[in-house]
Structure 1
């Protein structure tokens, strides 16, 4: 029987956009949603349908809005990144030979519903390719002379092909689906239903009373609060049923048999696939070795906290062994372990990975270890799998004892993917891993920091290899099981692959690094030596005074209440300060304040920028901002930090991410300690809760104006060089130059303006931004900038030189050779190009600053190794290092650490370090 495939294009486009990461092609154009849809279309074509259509929503209102104006009223506008992918999606769809259908006045669902029943009535089997549960109302079993109607989710492979399948999935028959949807309502489409009525309740009612009409007729017999909710909702249920019903009588200009697939436009597809980086699809198009493969939908979490993502491949790897399937072994007997110990003992390098029961390395228990020493061959040593019928495993302590001589031998090279996690886990289990020589995440990061560096993205992009998603072995959502409960056979395929792919990636990425000597130096002298340093800092952790934070929480709560009361007085009535809708009504409708900032939908915004813009016109916006600031401090820090104290160490342990920022700056998470406000009294109070133990002190060492000093070095401007060489207050010196005064004559406002210029220009601030920052006219701000550049022409020349370098090369570099690629510098739209130019100017300074403090951390860590626990490096916050020090060792540390930080780079100006000591972080800063 012929087959018709009806593709719910709108559903797949949105689902792919929200399910996949924000991928871009080489030109910076968004491709994530496009990637998902194209893979789905290629999978559909491989099944060889006779007819097919790609159905999308037409613009403009539909009959449902006429029935119920609030229909879909809560849906946000299409994001710009998604809107940009609609047109290329349609071009690819058409080039693949699909008919695209858009019918005004109805939704794509109604077009699909009409064609589905027409096709089935004509004896055609119909497959609706969708992830939308509403289509279950159309499912029909095959009967003589009539085709079936089935649902297939091409992204997951699930299929619903008859009443039994519908009943198993939803608990009701296909002809009851509409009634079920009416009872449940739909928050996304804003369809009203019965409050608190979920799928189980709706299915129960329909099982008892068969139809919605039957439920309505028996509403009086349903007891409890849910019965009251049902009776209150009775007047709107017929409307809800009408809104949820997919129409099957739409007048269409095409019949199912008019939807035959057209021949592909291969030349158009080749251009489109190349533009958007779909190399696997391109190889398939050109009949390459991967012609039978479809790029698999990416999974999610992998073992050690890795996040998967799809990525276009960089082209075929030079060695076929890098992309071929591997052979993996589960090590369950002493003889197998001995054999692998012999292989490891003679190996030049060992790729390894750990599997655990937690993403927090400071609490994770070891479940297994995987190792690889040859491409395509790896072993998994299960050590903690616990499920009914699990085979006997080797004793964990015995295995670690057997591995310890190899793992702790610094002469034996080890490599991993995000290996800092594995260093933590092994240290917690008594193994001090040494000889950690290579990390594929960092190799990728140094080669191009703007790409994704998780294992699954790298495997796809570098090797053309699709890795096993975590969900494939552990399940997902509420049904996901711990890795210790995964069957050892499945765990072996997954975990051994980690070690194998790590080894394969290293073989390819190390070759690419070797071809770029400057980048290889960054990798070898900065990034790799920093890994064990960060692991030690994270393990050290920092003491936090939970009682102090609780006191601050109480104070913040009291002040929030006072702000609420003040806001109520100013408004003349009570309202919810956390409700944007109520704020809009109050500020812009009742108080008639101007809506100076709009949302993407064109509605008045109540975000921080919007409230700041009108804070000079009424006191209420300022009070709301004060309330929000207090609420953020409470929820983010004073309430959360005590909960994050590790019960085993009594300390808070942040995680630092080397591949977290494209410029090379370290990022911090769980908790993020780099965003604690420092310019406000409340922010400084939070730092008071970071304390030293009895008999010890906290010492903070902070680079002074390091990025301005780097600007002076890079620009070689005589004025800036002279000011720094003289040890002058650089902002006062700039003010004197710009405003034509002596240093003594400079006023505080002039110094403030000069500071805004110094930092603003470094971050690409325009005259408009400077004017807003200083509260002056745009013309006056432009005059300030012009005067600044006339006094410091070297800065202007550096900026123009850097912009041109970025346009010519596509990247800029730090003093040490780190690169930042700028995808939008040539082909993005005007706003994107402007943003790329600002990044081009700032990245060498911010990246060089990051390199300098990393070099300092490596040197200081090596020096501290000789002093046991006399001093611990416990925090890095941008340009600042914080130490916990024995009271008697403070003077030694204050002598050594600032000197080592100052010596971390040789610039044309001195690197100055400010230091402070205290019993808490605020005192030390």
Structure 2
């Protein structure tokens, strides 16, 4: 089909300008917005449209200013930094062979609207490339909106309704009611999209809302009636014109031959290295035209690494729908087995009737060998009228040798779930070689999501079938075993197919970065079976003990409620923020020292801590909340999570959670049990060893501080750790100019706060609040610290500079953390990115070290699992269960292997404990 792409140039120029950091080339010319637009244009041209136009606003007023002199009157003038990029942008657009359209007296929106309908009437497939919500009014069969920056697509009435709550023909009415602060269109005060959509659904149109304004109650009704006379004008201002008399039609917008030499000169001048490589067919980029090397810092090439790795546009060859086959007969199954046996590698996925891998029943399996073709093998669809399926036991027996062959590479997405399911159905998977979730995570951990649907949109430009599409949602959602085999094939086979396609895209990205490839190959992938074994083992809990604790917590919560009633002089609900707020700030007149983002008094933990010294009630409420959280999260919930088949609790570890690489625990989360309170320690007492066994806990001592010493190479810090001194007492001695034996408890406490606080970016204000001292005194402490440990100060500054130059920081092992806000105009965002830059190498290196230790210890435990098992990982701690007579051997091996997991300039020290329960062992 003939395709027309209309690019909303003004929208993308401003969007790129505000989204990207203030980049510049070697000559100091600004390039940030230009870089964003050029990447968008290259992605558009890779889709090979037949016709394309780049539409921008012409200078001067438009007919809308004549209708309303206040229209866009609040907009500030274009920043000089952006204005300087207009002509280069036009030069590049023209050199690419794209026609630029500017029409006086109207906006770019109207030009786009007119051309879009003109082409649509002729049966041309129209794509409007924009991020402007106003264009939703144009969506219809043949006209789609694509936001090239986010990858989102809006191409149907149903899509518009889902996004805005109204069909396309009612979008202008919605905009009229809401108004637009950017364009200075005054709508109904406090009327957001939900309220506007509700009115339009009830009354049919803007005219209907106006006619029934008298019936709308409350303050919002008053607000509506106050602007009734203006609403028709709002609608006219928001309506995109589609009837302009233009001097061209869409058929005049054929793509011209690009001017390669002009593009080469422009790309070289502005430092667009990837664009240069593409222009030259992948050859190394030509040098800048003046012979000077374009520096990485502050250039568009630098931004390709600042905040996110440079991404090529999705490969159209990988974005097409696949051909999927349902395997129902012996002949089909035999053919599938033959293909799998002949293949060196295959992608696979399991479908189950639940999300708990320790309990879910296998419903079907999908496989893919080549992109675009996949099979679904249904095994347990049991709805009325379901087709006959192969016997599950027979199919599993036939597949077992394939999965057990370590030489046959298996590819999955979040495959640890599938490993559990298959193991429980009699298949032990060997050769699990690739995981696209982990490929994506290692490639760019700070990407917002690593689920398959998001990755397919990001890397393939492909919209996947959602689970809700085949199983429904909410209370009406059905189990996958009840999904029709036809729908299940479309959904499940696509999972295997998309997994394979994603691997084909992500593998070369990692291969191009050897350090990241090593993190993936040597840490993340080997860890998958380790975590699977830990999760499958689980840990015993004493259910009776937890029930006793629940009863005790409930009693104390009741006592707190009664005491709170006495203090307040009346009854109130301690669980109601509204009631607590009214009591503290309106009745008791306590100062509201912490506010919500909307400016209202807050009753969160920080707010209550801030006033806890002024009245007994805030502290009592905090204590009550702490008891309630322990009871609801642990003592009540954990007994319900005991697996009836194993009698143990099985947590799940997520590798693609924290950007620093730290593992996250969920269902239940065993990493957040408080250990500094008696109640938290009591909960750990309920985690117990099996009869005849002991729990063993091995914990790294001050690992992040040791990593700080290694990275900073500060002589005094290295000396303190190498000599085995108490690091906080040694720091206090350095800072306060005393011998170690003269350091007081308060001085050690201050040094400890500084040691840990600096790693997390603590300011003098934060240190002052933690120590209960003046801000000036806290600043003096920090200055003294840096004077005694200048290597730490230099390391922190080097790290900030690396983050600014490269857009990322690295762990000792090469894991990267991209910092999207390191060049942000907003000072708060930029400062947060700098704090993360300093902390991430230490926290990320600590995560890498304990993962390496887990892999090594797990390998040693193979063949000894009857004697000992690794059960839990909690931050810097590993928990084991071992036969009582094997404990000493386990501790000696675990400590040695943990200490040898990295070669640092200071020793890694591991402490170990033993007990009948976790609290005793810790």
Q: TM-score if structure 1 supplies the norm length?
A: 0.71
Select which of 724, 735, 739 maps to 1:738.
735
1:852 lines up with 2:849 in the alignment? yes
Which residue matches 1:717? 714
d(CA) in 2 for partners of 1:242 and 1:664?
A: 51
d(CA) in 1 for partners of 2:697 and 2:343?
A: 44
- Which string of whole-angstrom CA distances, capped at 9 and with x for unpartnered residues, describes residues 240-278 of structure 1? 997899998766337769752478999xxxxxxxxxxxx
- Alignment check: 8 A CA contact 1:473 1:486 kept: yes
Which residue matches 1:917? 914
- Which string of whole-angstrom CA distances, capped at 9 and with x for unpartnered residues, describes residues 672-717 of structure 1? 1111101111111110010111111100000000000000000000
Q: Aligned in 2, Cα 1:614/1:239: closer, same or farther, shift over 3 Å?
A: closer
d(CA) in 1 for partners of 2:108 and 2:541?
A: 60
Matches within 5 A, 1:18-29: none
d(CA) in 1 for partners of 2:679 and 2:842?
A: 30
- Alignment check: 8 A CA contact 2:109 2:240 kept: no
Which residue matches 1:805? 802
Which residue matches 2:326? 330
- Alignment check: 8 A CA contact 2:914 2:920 kept: yes
Which residue matches 1:899? 896
d(CA) in 2 for partners of 1:623 and 1:675?
A: 22
Which residue matches 1:43? none
Matches within 5 A, 1:810-821: 810-821=807-818
- Which string of whole-angstrom CA distances, capped at 9 and with x for unpartnered residues, describes residues 823-865 of structure 1? 0001241001100000000000000000000000000001001
Select which of 672, 679, 683 maps to 1:682.
679
Following superposition, the deviation at residue 315 of structure 1 comes to 3.5
Which residue matches 1:834? 831
Following superposition, the deviation at residue 237 of structure 1 comes to 10
d(CA) in 1 for partners of 2:840 and 2:164?
A: 46
Q: Aligned in 2, Cα 1:651/1:777: closer, same or farther, shift over 3 Å?
A: same
SS at match of 1:876: strand
Select which of 216, 225, 232 maps to 1:252.
232
- Which string of whole-angstrom CA distances, capped at 9 and with x for unpartnered residues, describes residues 768-816 of structure 1? 0100010100000000000000000000000000000000000000000
1:453 lines up with 2:465 in the alignment? no
SS at match of 1:872: strand
Select which of 386, 389, 397 maps to 2:385.
389
d(CA) in 1 for partners of 2:579 and 2:919?
A: 38
1:474 lines up with 2:471 in the alignment? yes
- Alignment check: 8 A CA contact 1:717 1:795 kept: yes
1:425 lines up with 2:421 in the alignment? yes
1:97 lines up with 2:109 in the alignment? yes
- Alignment check: 8 A CA contact 2:21 2:823 kept: no
Q: Aligned in 2, Cα 1:754/1:479: closer, same or farther, shift over 3 Å?
A: same
Which residue matches 1:569? 566
1:778 lines up with 2:769 in the alignment? no
Select which of 887, 890, 895 maps to 2:884.
887
d(CA) in 2 for partners of 1:345 and 1:744?
A: 70
- Alignment check: 8 A CA contact 1:526 1:855 kept: yes
- Alignment check: 8 A CA contact 1:129 1:152 kept: no
1:542 lines up with 2:522 in the alignment? no
Select which of 748, 751, 756 maps to 1:751.
748
Following superposition, the deviation at residue 821 of structure 1 comes to 0.4
Which residue matches 2:489? 492
Following superposition, the deviation at residue 574 of structure 1 comes to 2.1
Select which of 305, 318, 321 maps to 2:317.
321
- Alignment check: 8 A CA contact 2:651 2:668 kept: yes
- Alignment check: 8 A CA contact 1:129 1:151 kept: no
Select which of 548, 553, 566 maps to 1:551.
548
d(CA) in 1 for partners of 2:514 and 2:627?
A: 49
Q: Aligned in 2, Cα 1:458/1:159: closer, same or farther, shift over 3 Å?
A: closer
- Which string of whole-angstrom CA distances, capped at 9 and with x for unpartnered residues, describes residues 290-310 of structure 1? xxxxxxxxxxxxxxxxxxxxx
SS at match of 2:328: coil
Which residue matches 1:619? 616
Select which of 346, 351, 355 maps to 2:351.
355
Select which of 653, 659, 663 maps to 1:662.
659
Which residue matches 2:689? 692
Select which of 355, 370, 376 maps to 1:374.
370
Q: Aligned in 2, Cα 1:427/1:155: closer, same or farther, shift over 3 Å?
A: farther
Q: Relative contact order (C-alpha < 8 Å, sep 6+): which is higher? A: 2
d(CA) in 1 for partners of 2:349 and 2:847?
A: 28
- Alignment check: 8 A CA contact 1:544 1:652 kept: yes
d(CA) in 1 for partners of 2:219 and 2:362?
A: 52
1:628 lines up with 2:625 in the alignment? yes
d(CA) in 1 for partners of 2:547 and 2:746?
A: 38
d(CA) in 2 for partners of 1:747 and 1:522?
A: 43
- Alignment check: 8 A CA contact 1:358 1:365 kept: yes
- Alignment check: 8 A CA contact 1:813 1:844 kept: yes
Following superposition, the deviation at residue 189 of structure 1 comes to 7.1
- Which string of whole-angstrom CA distances, capped at 9 and with x for unpartnered residues, describes residues 563-607 of structure 1? 112222222222221222222222222222211111122121111
- Which string of whole-angstrom CA distances, capped at 9 and with x for unpartnered residues, describes residues 3-52 of structure 1? xxxxxxxxxxxxxxxxxxxxx989999x9xxx9xxxxxxxxxx9xxxxxx
d(CA) in 2 for partners of 1:313 and 1:95?
A: 33
d(CA) in 1 for partners of 2:823 and 2:806?
A: 10
- Alignment check: 8 A CA contact 1:152 1:159 kept: no
Q: Aligned in 2, Cα 1:870/1:545: closer, same or farther, shift over 3 Å?
A: same
Which residue matches 2:189? none
- Alignment check: 8 A CA contact 2:346 2:368 kept: yes
Select which of 324, 327, 340 maps to 2:336.
340
How large is the Cα RMSD of the aligned pairs? 4.0
1:154 lines up with 2:160 in the alignment? yes
d(CA) in 2 for partners of 1:443 and 1:497?
A: 19
SS at match of 2:699: strand
Q: Aligned in 2, Cα 1:130/1:867: closer, same or farther, shift over 3 Å?
A: farther
- Alignment check: 8 A CA contact 2:314 2:458 kept: no
Matches within 5 A, 1:209-248: none
Q: Aligned in 2, Cα 1:620/1:98: closer, same or farther, shift over 3 Å?
A: farther
SS at match of 2:376: strand
d(CA) in 1 for partners of 2:714 and 2:644?
A: 53
Which residue matches 2:127? none
Select which of 710, 715, 726 maps to 2:723.
726
- Alignment check: 8 A CA contact 2:160 2:166 kept: no
- Which string of whole-angstrom CA distances, capped at 9 and with x for unpartnered residues, describes residues 289-346 of structure 1? xxxxxxxxxxxxxxxxxxxxxx99944345x432222111000001111111111111
Following superposition, the deviation at residue 906 of structure 1 comes to 0.6
Which residue matches 2:699? 702
d(CA) in 2 for partners of 1:408 and 1:798?
A: 48
Q: Aligned in 2, Cα 1:856/1:313: closer, same or farther, shift over 3 Å?
A: closer
Q: Aligned in 2, Cα 1:98/1:624: closer, same or farther, shift over 3 Å?
A: farther
Matches within 5 A, 1:7-26: none
Q: Aligned in 2, Cα 1:572/1:825: closer, same or farther, shift over 3 Å?
A: same
d(CA) in 2 for partners of 1:151 and 1:449?
A: 35
Following superposition, the deviation at residue 739 of structure 1 comes to 1.1
1:403 lines up with 2:390 in the alignment? no
Segment drifting more, 840-849 vs 644-653: 644-653
SS at match of 1:351: strand
Q: Aligned in 2, Cα 1:152/1:730: closer, same or farther, shift over 3 Å?
A: closer
d(CA) in 2 for partners of 1:853 and 1:837?
A: 25
d(CA) in 2 for partners of 1:503 and 1:783?
A: 57
Following superposition, the deviation at residue 367 of structure 1 comes to 0.6
- Alignment check: 8 A CA contact 1:367 1:383 kept: yes
The number of aligned residues is 703
d(CA) in 1 for partners of 2:464 and 2:515?
A: 31
